[in-house]
């Protein structure tokens, strides 16, 4: 619950004096940095003031801080306790650096105003002579001399306008750059929250306060590099943190902790859709008299749906309920700066294979599965960020990446040196016997795997297994060569293909079902 609003009897000048001196020794000591914001903890020693029967200590926090998240604590040995907190917006004195930048900005703005004035003067000069020229009397020697002078003057004015306009672009860039520096140093605001901390008593003239608050305009995002070396069965892994810091505070030798929510990545190859064979759903015919709106409102949902040099020390990881945190030790980052910090560098042992799903795509996707030695609890979850994927140091793609399970497949894209061809051997319907009252349907495919590489490769092939939605449907299967493993509604073939050679896999299915049963064959 928010503390009741209290009214101070101190005069405004006194407030300003107290405010300007209140945070002279304030120092961020720790930052827990989130993807969009941070929990900042600062420590300061401030005077303790009395106003009647109230005891107050004051300090300031950036205007972008969420004042409702502010907490403040006193040392246990001080004998003083925080009873309530009040905040108020004030404009503090500028730092020497901000003053210097503002002076530069004013000089540049004066230069810009001078150029704008000269351009306007030249434009007016041209307009004057153009208007005068249209009202000159008949040509005489004096008029011709006047016209020649006007022509030269207009030409010179146009040339000057061109040069002045050209000079504006670099000047505007300097103005924008200095304004950006000022915004970064002031946290994009020249105001701060003045915080009044009310204490239960005055036991000393000063009090050491430790306070925390959440603030935006800063954050971090993970950046990864995964360099696959299939010949060595290794992946060189580098994890960076790209940090932005526009709080207006100087993070000097602070304890920095990164916090991140986890996100499961989407698989790179196309997903296999379920293969469902089921009776066709027949809906009652709508009455022609129904209005289109009534038809749409009464249609079933199914019908609607058709429409660094050396590796840095490993960060200390703490596993949380919603996210992990990584302690990066002491770090320094000035306001307005963007920094990149190495979080982890390591070499992963991995087994490389190719995944193919011929019914969905003719491509073969290289993937790796990590070989975690020892305790899997040592595995570090990786929050979602942009990653550069390489194969033998050659870049193959950049995309979003995260890792939450050590058994997940790490995909490195498709390989044009592994060809996959799918031939349809049979796809037809028929009848079983003359009087049996049964129908049949059969499918058959041949998959040709062509390894153009000069070394053996391992391929995992997947396809959907038919799911029968009616007990009257009977299924027969046919496999030639490699027999697949059945994993629920999925078929998996493990195949080794010799260097520069081909391997064929043939398989198919047939179903028998009653003559009066209309089937949807699942798109196959």
Q: How confident is the model at residue 284 (pLDDT cuts 50, 70, 90)?
A: low
Q: Decide which of 199, 215, 231 is a domain's last residue.
A: 215
Best-predicted range by mean pLDDT among 45-54, 115-124, 283-292?
A: 45-54
Do both 63 and 201 map to the same domain? yes
What integer is the mean pLDDT of 309-315?
Answer: 52
Q: Which two tokens stand for residue 304?
A: 């609607």
| Buried/exposed code over 146-159 (b: 16+ C-beta within 10 A; e: otherwise) | eeeebeeebeebee
Residue 2 lies in a domain: no
Do both 491 and 379 map to the same domain? no
Residue 402 lies in a domain: yes
Q: Which residues pair with 455 in a beta bridge?
A: none
Q: How confident is the model at residue 296 (pLDDT cuts 50, 70, 90)?
A: very low
pLDDT in tens, 398-438: 999 988 888 889 999 888 899 999 999 999 988 766 556 88
Mean pLDDT over all residues of the chain?
A: 80
Do both 36 and 85 map to the same domain? yes
Beta strand segments in 182-322, E: 192-199, 206-215, 218-229, 234-245, 251-261, 276-279, 316-319
459 versus 95: which is more confidently predicted? 459
| Buried/exposed code over 59-86 (b: 16+ C-beta within 10 A; e: otherwise) | bbbbbbbebeebebebeeeeebebeebb
- The least confident of 5-9, 350-354, 379-383 is 5-9
Do both 397 and 422 map to the same domain? no
Tell me what pLDDT residue 238 has: 94
DSSP summary character for residue 270: P
Residue 417 and residue 404: Cα distance in Å, rounded?
A: 31
Residue 225 and residue 398: Cα distance in Å, rounded?
A: 9
Residue 176 lies in a domain: yes
Task: Output phi, psi for 396, to 5 deg.
Answer: -115, -30
Q: What percent of the chain clears pLDDT 70, i.e. is strictly above it?
A: 77
Do both 259 and 207 map to the same domain? no
231 versus 324: which is more confidently predicted? 231
Residue 116 and residue 168: Cα distance in Å, rounded?
A: 9
Do both 227 and 359 map to the same domain? yes
Q: How many residues does the chain have?
A: 524
Cβ atoms of 496 and 457 closer than 8 Å: yes
- The least confident of 308-322, 454-468, 491-505 is 308-322
Do both 382 and 430 map to the same domain? no
Please calculate the CA angle 63-64-70 and round it to the nearest 5 degrees: 85
Do both 292 and 404 map to the same domain? yes
The CATH number of residue 498's host domain is: 2.60.40
CA atoms within 13 Å, Cβ hemisphere of 455: 5
- Specify the residue for token string 């193959």: 396
Tell me what pLDDT residue 289 has: 41
- The least confident of 168-177, 375-384, 476-485 is 375-384
Closest CA to 247 of 459, 34, 87: 34
pLDDT at 11 over 50: no
Tell me what pLDDT residue 2 has: 40
94 versus 272: which is more confidently predicted? 272
Q: Which residues pair with 438 in a beta bridge?
A: 514
- Domain that includes residue 113, residue range: 96-185
Cβ atoms of 39 and 31 closer than 8 Å: yes
Please name the helix (run of DSSP H) or strand (run of DSSP E) that holds residue 109, with its range, or none: helix 96-133
Q: Other CB atoms closer than 10 Å to residue 401's CB: what's the count?
A: 22
Residue 502 lies in a domain: yes
Q: Decide which of 170, 185, 200 is a domain's last residue.
A: 185
* Contact partners, residue 42, CB within 8 Å, separation at least 6: 26, 27, 28, 29, 61, 210, 211, 212
Residue 6 lies in a domain: no
Residue 479 and residue 445: Cα distance in Å, rounded?
A: 10
Q: Decide which of 397, 414, 431 is a domain's last residue.
A: 414
Do both 206 and 165 map to the same domain? no
Q: How confident is the model at residue 132 (pLDDT cuts 50, 70, 90)?
A: low
Tell me what pLDDT residue 3 has: 40
Q: Which two tokens stand for residue 485?
A: 């493993």
- The least confident of 100-104, 233-237, 495-499 is 100-104
Best-predicted range by mean pLDDT among 70-74, 427-431, 460-464?
A: 460-464
Do both 245 and 174 map to the same domain? no
Residue 1 lies in a domain: no
Do both 245 and 345 map to the same domain? yes
Tell me what pLDDT residue 467 has: 93
What integer is the mean pLDDT of 92-117?
Answer: 78
What Rg, from alpha-carbon coordinates, does the chain have? Answer: 37
Do both 27 and 115 map to the same domain? no
Closest CA to 40 of 248, 294, 350: 248
Residue 490 and residue 357: Cα distance in Å, rounded?
A: 11
Beta strand segments in 63-103, E: 65-73, 82-90
Q: Total structural domains in the chain?
A: 4
Q: Other CB atoms closer than 10 Å to residue 368's CB: what's the count?
A: 23
């Amino acid at each position: 619950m928010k503390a009741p609003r209290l009214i101070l009897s101190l005069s405004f000048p006194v407030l300003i004096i107290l405010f300007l001196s209140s945070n002279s020794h304030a120092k961020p000591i720790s930052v827990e940095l989130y993807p969009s914001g941070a929990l900042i903890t600062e420590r300061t020693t401030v005077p303790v003031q009395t106003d009647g029967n109230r005891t107050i200590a004051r300090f300031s926090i950036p205007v972008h801080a969420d004042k409702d998240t502010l907490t403040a604590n006193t040392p246990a040995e001080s004998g003083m306790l925080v009873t309530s907190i009040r905040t108020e917006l004030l404009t503090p004195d500028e730092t020497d650096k901000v003053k210097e930048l503002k002076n530069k900005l004013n000089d540049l703005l004066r230069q810009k105003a001078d150029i704008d004035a000269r351009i306007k003067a030249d434009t007016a000069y041209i307009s004057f002579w153009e208007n005068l020229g249209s009202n000159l009397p008949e040509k005489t020697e004096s008029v011709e001399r006047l016209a020649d002078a006007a022509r030269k003057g207009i030409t010179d004015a146009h040339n000057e306008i061109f040069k002045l306009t050209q000079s504006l672009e670099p000047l505007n860039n300097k103005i924008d750059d200095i304004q950006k520096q000022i915004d970064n140093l002031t946290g994009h605001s020249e105001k701060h929250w003045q915080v009044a901390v009310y204490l239960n008593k005055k036991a000393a003239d000063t009090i050491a306060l430790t306070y925390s608050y959440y603030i935006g305009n800063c954050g971090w995002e993970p950046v990864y590099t995964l360099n696959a070396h299939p010949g060595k069965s290794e992946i060189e892994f580098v994890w960076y943190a790209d940090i932005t810091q526009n709080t207006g505070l100087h993070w000097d030798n602070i304890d920095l902790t990164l916090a991140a929510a986890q996100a499961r990545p989407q698989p790179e190859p196309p997903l296999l859709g379920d293969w469902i064979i089921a009776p066709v759903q027949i809906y009652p015919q709508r009455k022609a008299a129904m209005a289109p709106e009534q038809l749409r409102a009464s249609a079933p949902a199914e019908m609607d749906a058709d429409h660094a040099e050396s590796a840095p020390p490993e960060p200390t990881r703490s596993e949380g309920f919603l996210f992990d945190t990584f302690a990066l030790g002491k770090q320094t980052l000035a306001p307005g700066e963007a920094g990149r910090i190495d979080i982890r560098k390591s070499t992963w042992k991995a087994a490389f294979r190719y995944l193919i799903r011929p019914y969905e795509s003719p491509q073969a996707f290289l993937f790796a599965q990590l070989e975690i030695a020892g305790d899997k609890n040592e595995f570090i979850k990786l929050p979602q960020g942009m990653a550069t994927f390489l194969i033998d140091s050659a870049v193959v793609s950049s995309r979003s990446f995260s890792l939450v399970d050590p058994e997940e497949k790490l995909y490195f894209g498709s390989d044009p040196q592994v060809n996959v061809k799918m031939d349809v051997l049979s796809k037809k319907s028929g009848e079983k016997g003359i009087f049996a009252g049964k129908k049949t349907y059969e499918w058959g495919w041949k998959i040709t795997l062509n390894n153009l590489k000069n070394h053996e490769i391992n391929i995992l092939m997947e396809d959907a297994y038919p799911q029968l939605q009616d007990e009257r449907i009977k299924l027969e299967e046919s496999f030639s060569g490699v027999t697949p493993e059945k994993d629920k509604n999925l078929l998996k073939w493990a195949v080794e293909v010799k260097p520069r050679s081909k391997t064929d896999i043939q398989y198919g299915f047939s179903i028998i079902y009653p003559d009066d049963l209309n089937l949807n064959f699942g798109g196959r």
